[in-house]
Amino acid sequence: MNIELLKRMYRTALTIRRFEEAAIEQYRLGNIYGYLHPYLGEEAIATGAIAAIGPDDYIVSTHRGHGHAIAKGHDVRLMMAELMGRATGYCKGRGGSMHVADLKQKNLGANGIVGGGIPFATGAGMAIKQKKTDQVVISFLSDGAVNNGVFLESINLAAIYHLPVIFIIENNHYAAATPVETMNLQDDLSKYSVGFGIPGFSLDGNDAVKIYEAMQEPVKRARVKKGPTLIECKTYRHRGHHVNDPGLYMPQDVLEHWKQRDPLILLKEYLNNEKAEDQEIDLIEEEVRKLIEKAVKFGLESPEPSPEEFLLEISSL
């Protein structure tokens, strides 16, 4: 494993972790409102999967989307400002936590409707096909979205049109508070791929390196227009569904088991195996700490959107 790539992935996962912690703190302080769905514990998926694609490739995110945005390289200052509803945010404060998007970085956006964004991913795939480029699309979705009609429709559309889309199910074992096993009899959600005649596999969603490696073949396949792949990454949230959900339904021993396999611990092990210097890791941590501090400061110091400008703009609609 390339040590520079490993360091980059560690930095990404750590940035997500610290961003979410800071966002929760700002929520508690009342500087962020609405819904906030932390990606804590799931950092490896966005980190590993997005490391395997390029800046010109698309992603479509979910309501739990901060991790995808950070892994795609978004400016955490503009993200924090968006979470705070500020004019400087990615969406000028019109979207908030559930709707961070950056079209310049080819993130078509997070989504407030579970499953709602999946068709946009097949659409981006169709646009790529029409334009005859070799870009690919990652459609992130949750285990809850698997039971939504558009998931099944979209995976089939991607299959029959051979669209360059990689569907990644982030199975964190709960649709809000509902355990996945009570809503799906299938142990491995990637088995849906069989019904649609496309490749699919399940893997450890806490191991960013394994995810990165597993992405190579699906990405290659997508780039040569051989069609989609369905990947299930099994993981577990470190907290409840949203910031105000204590997650009491999550059994303590199961949570502990997953926490011992924290994506950051695993990445650090890889770094140690590759003989990364402790100093280098400390340096990354220091950089990330400062980055997040700046993001919070930027958000707090940013102006609120102007009511006058808003009313003027919508008066012509």
Partner 1 sequence: MAEIKYRDALNAALREEMERDPLVFCIGEGIGEKGGSFRVTDKLLDQFGSERVIDTPLSEAGFVGLAGGAAIAGTRPVVEMLFIDFTFLVMDQVANQIAKYEFMTGGQGKVPVVLRTQGGIGNGLAGQHSQSLEAMFCHIPGLQVVMPSTPYDAKGLLKTCIRDDNPVIFIENKKLYLNIGEVPEEEYLIPLGKADIKRKGSDITIVTYSYMTHECLKAAEILGQKGISAEVIDLRTLVPLDEKCILDSVDKTGHLIVVHEAPTRGGYGGDILSTVIEKAFYSLEAPARRIAGKNSTIPFNMTLEKLCIPSVDEIVGGAMDVMNS
Residues contributing to the site for partner 1 (CB under 8 A): 58, 60, 89-95, 99, 101-104, 108-109, 111-113, 116-131, 149-150, 153-154, 156-157, 160-161, 317
Q: Which is nearer to partner 1, 101 or 243 (CB)?
A: 101
What tokens were used for 310? 């808003």
Cα 209 to Cα 48: distance, rounded to the nearest angstrom: 6
In angstroms, give the least distance from the CB of 201 to partner 1: 23
Among 136, 137, 142, residue whose Cα is nearest residue 116 = 142
Q: Which is nearer to partner 1, 43 or 57 (CB)?
A: 57
Cα 177 to Cα 230: distance, rounded to the nearest angstrom: 24
Q: Which is nearer to partner 1, 9 or 110 (CB)?
A: 110
CA distance between the termini of the chain:
53
In angstroms, give the least distance from the CB of 272 to partner 1: 41
In angstroms, give the least distance from the CB of 145 to partner 1: 12
Three-state DSSP class for residue 236: coil
Residue 79's contacts (CB-CB under 8 Å, 6 or more residues apart) are: 19, 66, 69, 70, 89, 90, 100, 295
Q: Which is nearer to partner 1, 9 or 80 (CB)?
A: 80
Question: Do the bridges between strand 58-60 and strand 137-142 make them parallel or antiparallel, or are there none, so unpaired?
Answer: parallel
Cα 248 to Cα 252: distance, rounded to the nearest angstrom: 9
In angstroms, give the least distance from the CB of 48 to partner 1: 24
Q: Which is nearer to partner 1, 20 or 102 (CB)?
A: 102
In angstroms, give the least distance from the CB of 112 to partner 1: 7
